[in-house]
Chain A
Amino acid sequence: KQWYQRRVAITAGEYKSYLSTRMLYQRYIEVGRVCYIRLGDYAGKLCVIVDLVDQKHLLVDGPTTGVPRTVVRINQVSITDIKIDIPRGCKSKKVRVESEKAEVTSKFQNSGLFKKAEAKRSKAAMDDFGRFKARVAKVSRNRKIRSTVRKLKKSS
């Protein structure tokens, strides 16, 4: 019964969305794309692409995240999944309204990039006692894993 179900015809729309998942790139640098600034003064913050300056520069704005309307280099920035609907070169007020409507910040907090950045930040902020506790936890965990693996090897 299952292989019959696979041979059911799909609609054109479904086929198109299937094709888009098959494409090499899924995130594009375009107006309205939300980016994560990796380097520079506003590192760690989100911004929205408002316009493209040239092959290597973008005009970005992040009224809800504290990024002023500035020009950044494309390699300073990582593009995210999130895209909002704004016209090219629109004012900061419009960007703010659209970002809040699309709930950009909360969507970003579910992403892997945010979680990794948070983990890195909290690791760097660990004090000496914290580092000691982390080391002890890691050592005991690895010991348990290794002993279990050894036991399984012996029994097999």
Chain B
Amino acid sequence: CKQQHDQAVVSTQSGHYGRDPTEDVKRPLTNRRKVKPTKLRSSIKPGTVLILLAGAHRGKRVIFLKQLPSGLLLVTGPYKINGVPLRRVDQAYVIATSTVVEIPAIANDKLTDAMFKRKAKPTKNEREMFIENTSEEPKISAERIALQKEVDAVVVPAVKKVEMLPSYLRSKFTLTKGQFPHQLKF
């Protein structure tokens, strides 16, 4: 097939026969692929307790809120319980337990991928580079803190309703002697 490489060779002449290679125009093939968010595992539903397997909070148990358009999962500790803030997490680095907390649907427009975008550092001109920036912006914006409080105000009461769930979320997941992940039921 003539279209084995990424470019289609469009002949300036009507047919292939007797075409002049120097006059052919190379055009990339049309990409009809539509980007979809990662397919969410059936075991993960809003309110499911997830075990984080990687990152700073590995081993911690968190509550799943929703899947963001990027495909990542939005989770919260809740922050007051185990110190995990509103965070994005990849599905692949998570174990979904069968424990589901009944939380009312959180319909907040601000909970999107854009919220997590890092602010670009202001570029300094040559002179300013030698002047130390003494006034540093707080690492966590007040906006984030407010949003965290708003979300947790809904999640924390729901968690407290279930017996022993807050202490469960406070504890970390570990493997002890004789426990093998492929034999455990989550």
* Whole-angstrom CA separation of A1 from B98 in the bound complex: 65
Judge if B116 is at the interface, Cβ distance under 8 Å: no
The range of chain B's interface size is: 10 to 19
CB <8 Å contact, B51 and A132: no
Q: Which residues of B contact A133 (CB under 8 A)?
A: 164, 168
CB <8 Å contact, A129 and B97: yes
* Whole-angstrom CA separation of A14 from B167 in the bound complex: 60
Judge if A12 is at the interface, Cβ distance under 8 Å: no
Q: Number of A residues contacting the other chain (C-beta, 8 Å)?
A: 10
Q: Which residues of A contact B98 (CB under 8 A)?
A: 127-129
Q: Which residues of A contact B51 (CB under 8 A)?
A: 128
* Whole-angstrom CA separation of A131 from B173 in the bound complex: 10
CB <8 Å contact, B185 and A129: no
* Whole-angstrom CA separation of A124 from B164 in the bound complex: 21
Q: In the complex, how many angstroms separate the beta carbon of B127 from the nearest chain A beta carbon? A: 57
Write out, one digit per residue, whether chain A residues 114-146 have a CB within 8 A of any chain B CB (1) or not (0): 000000000011111101110010000000000
Judge if B12 is at the interface, Cβ distance under 8 Å: no
Q: Which residues of B contact A127 (CB under 8 A)?
A: 97-99, 185-186
List B residues 83-115 near A (Cβ within 8 Å).
97-99
Q: Which residues of B contact A126 (CB under 8 A)?
A: 185
* Whole-angstrom CA separation of A124 from B182 in the bound complex: 12
CB <8 Å contact, B99 and A128: yes
CB <8 Å contact, A132 and B185: no
* Whole-angstrom CA separation of A124 from B186 in the bound complex: 10
* Whole-angstrom CA separation of A15 from B168 in the bound complex: 60
Chain A's closest residue to B99 (CB) is A129
Judge if B49 is at the interface, Cβ distance under 8 Å: yes
CB <8 Å contact, B167 and A136: yes
Chain A's closest residue to B98 (CB) is A127
Q: Which residues of B contact A131 (CB under 8 A)?
A: 184
State whether A128 and B171 are in contact (beta carbons under 8 Å apart), knowing that A133-B164, A136-B164 are contacts in the complex. no
Chain A's closest residue to B162 (CB) is A129
Q: 4 smallest A-B Cβ distances: which pairs?
A: A128-B97, A129-B99, A127-B98, A128-B186
**17 sample A-B contacts, Cβ–Cβ < 8 Å, listed by A number:** A124-B183, A127-B97, A127-B98, A127-B99, A127-B185, A128-B49, A128-B51, A128-B61, A128-B98, A129-B97, A129-B98, A129-B99, A129-B164, A129-B165, A129-B168, A133-B164, A136-B167
Beyond A124-B185, A127-B98, A128-B186, 7 extra complex contacts between A and B, CB < 8 Å: A128-B51, A128-B97, A128-B184, A129-B164, A129-B168, A133-B164, A133-B168
